[in-house]
A and B are shown apart, each in its own frame.
Chain A
Amino acid sequence: MQIKQADLKLSQTHKSKFTLVFLCMGLICVVVLFSIPETKAWMNGHGFVFTSIDDLQKSLSGKDGASKRTGKAKPKALDTALTRKLNAAVKLKVDSIKSKNHFLDNNINEQKVKPLDAFFQALLGMGDSAVRIWYYGDSQIEGDRISQDLRSLLQGKFGGNGQGLVPLSDIAGYRNVTLKTGPGWIRHTVFSNRKSSDFGFSGVKFFTSYQDSNFNPYAQIFISNNIKYDRLYLLHGKSNGDKLTLTTATGKKSFEIPKSNMGGRLYLGKAEYGNVSLNGAGGGTILYGYMLESNRGIQIDNCGIRGHSGDGLFLISDGMLKMQAKMLNTKLCILHYGNNAIPYIKNEQVAEYVGNELKRLFVKFRNALPGVSILVVSGGDMGRTIDGVPQSYPYAGLLAEKIGVAAAEAGCAFFDMHSLMAKDGGIVGWTQKGWAGLDGHLSPAGQMQFAKTLYQELMGEYEVYQLINQNRNQ
């Protein structure tokens, strides 16, 4: 009897061990299965969201370096469907590049096209021409902040020089130009002057308070030698054929701004430095700004307006956006908004409200500019001091997530600036490194840090585009 009981105990121990081993093997199988990208993608595509333990812990604790997120992944199943057709060597390369891209999401949209394809196609076929980027945002980018670093990186790779569009005057200061306007010029923006019209793509326009062709208002730009550019243009809106005099160190030149309802770009001459003055255009012409350009490589126009949420861009007519994008060969629009809302997000519903508001804007640009890629950049992280301790606002991450969802639904690419900042401890970490202020604004070093990552991930996606294209043509 004792022997039988011992046998039974032994057999039960064996059974338990066997069950444990079986369970472990099952667990290993599941982990291996989920680590295969296709499986993860298929599961995501069928409504199952695979989250790593690390991600799961982060989303549950809300401590992803900054603030709360729901941790919901965006579907990427169609991406896998495209890469499945690639040969093994190309697929390996694509997977290797993709694994380094952590913040840029180039989701395939409902037209089965990746949002950045139009931009990449233009880069591929650029030759000696110019490809233009419009970079929109609020005070985070005003005065050519961030865009100047992205421009220098992209021009380093694809050629080109210049600073793009520079307004006649601005409340923000610039590194390499100083702006001045005399009495008579009035500045309107889509943020501060919502009853105004005839805005150009930048959302800022200049017109004279008194309209008479003999009225000669004055504007001046000081251009530092630090800017290398080839050609000076004037971007204008509707015009009655006003006269204009350009005064530079090399002399005076007279121009007539061609009569037009929609406007155009007037060539003023080769690059000039020092003080460059404009007199005239007082008979009702609308001016948008100087353009310091080259006719090749990458051109980036900074369209930053302090305090702006993006809503005001609805005041720019689709016709104007189309016309100017075609004239200037604009192939990428970057919409970088969200920071101004962060302190006011009190729950998920409000974050969703802001996401939905921004989605309307993304859809407007997507519909108005069918041959132009749209890249949405979320707001970053932002903080304040509580009891002497600097802390992130609790819903900055959630807002970034909602903006990401809005971008995907609108068929736009998305760059998650909040996650980028969270990687280095959120706004608290970035302030400690000297990369940002607690209010979320990036320092010059932070701007370069951000621009470099955006550039690297854009170029990673570009390499993927090239690999897929080559594979198709083989």
Chain B
Amino acid sequence: MDKSKIRTDLSTLFNKVFKCGEIEITDTLTAADVERWDSLSHLTMVSEVEKHFGIRFKLKELTGMKNTGELVQLIADKTG
């Protein structure tokens, strides 16, 4: 899937999960930049991402993710 489409979809999902309003998904965006993004809302976000893109993450992938750029890359890899 095209990375720019992934970023647009993620922006909508982030808004839904973190209730943070419109947010620009950049590669360097991290949990520290988004209010309400904590360890548990991270799980909610992952669950929403899995549902939306029809993919599954491994726990290692979730805990190893450093920023949104890596999340976008993972989604791109999994969706082909």
Contact for A191 among B34, B38, B47, B63, CB less than 8 A: B38
List of B residues within 8 angstroms of A340 by Cβ? 40
Indicate whether B15 reaches chain A with its CB closer than 8 angstroms: no
Report whether B43 and A307 are in contact in the complex, using a CB–CB cutoff of 8 Å.
Answer: no
Bound-state Cα–Cα, A308 to B40, Å: 8
Number of B residues contacting the other chain (C-beta, 8 Å)?
16
Contact for A311 among B40, B47, B63, CB less than 8 A: B40
Bound-state Cα–Cα, A344 to B43, Å: 6
List of B residues within 8 angstroms of A354 by Cβ? 39-40, 43
With contacts A349-B59, A353-B59 known, is A309 near B35, CB below 8 A?
no
- CB-CB nearest in chain A for B60: A349
List of A residues within 8 angstroms of B47 by Cβ? 343-344
Bound-state Cα–Cα, A312 to B37, Å: 10
Report whether B43 and A350 are in contact in the complex, using a CB–CB cutoff of 8 Å.
Answer: yes
A287-321, CB under 8 A of B: which get 1 and which 0? 00000000000000000000111011000000000
Name the interface size band of chain A. Answer: 20 to 34
With contacts A194-B32, A353-B59 known, is A344 near B44, CB below 8 A?
yes
Indicate whether A4 reaches chain B with its CB closer than 8 angstroms: no
Bound-state Cα–Cα, A437 to B63, Å: 32
Q: Tell me, rounded to whole Å, the shortest Cβ–Cβ distance linking B23 to chain A.
A: 14
For the A-B complex, the count of residue pairs with Cβ-Cβ distances under 8 Å equals 46
- CB-CB nearest in chain B for A190: B38
Q: In residues 334-384 of chain A, which contact B (Cβ within 8 Å)?
A: 340-341, 343-345, 349-350, 353-354, 357
Indicate whether B79 reaches chain A with its CB closer than 8 angstroms: no
Report whether B40 and A341 are in contact in the complex, using a CB–CB cutoff of 8 Å.
Answer: yes
Bound-state Cα–Cα, A194 to B18, Å: 12
Indicate whether B36 reaches chain A with its CB closer than 8 angstroms: yes
B25-47, CB under 8 A of A: which get 1 and which 0? 00000001011111111011011
Bound-state Cα–Cα, A340 to B39, Å: 11
Q: Tell me, rounded to whole Å, the shortest Cβ–Cβ distance linking B32 to chain A.
A: 7
Contact for A194 among B35, B44, B62, CB less than 8 A: B35
Report whether A309 and B59 are in contact in the complex, using a CB–CB cutoff of 8 Å.
Answer: no
Bound-state Cα–Cα, A341 to B62, Å: 15
With contacts A194-B32, A344-B44, A344-B47 known, is A350 near B59, CB below 8 A?
yes
- CB-CB nearest in chain B for A194: B35
Could you pull out 10 A-B pairs where Cβ atoms are within 8 angstroms? A191-B36, A194-B32, A194-B34, A195-B32, A309-B38, A309-B40, A311-B38, A350-B43, A350-B59, A353-B63
Q: Hey, which bits of chain A sit against chain B, CB under 8 A?
A: 191-195, 307-309, 311-312, 340-341, 343-345, 349-350, 353-354, 357
Q: Hey, which bits of chain B sit against chain A, CB under 8 A?
A: 32, 34-41, 43-44, 46-47, 59, 62-63
Q: A192-B35, A194-B36, A341-B40 are in contact. List 15 more A-B contacts (CB 8 A).
A: A193-B35, A194-B32, A194-B38, A195-B35, A307-B41, A308-B38, A309-B38, A311-B38, A344-B43, A344-B47, A345-B43, A350-B59, A353-B63, A357-B39, A357-B40
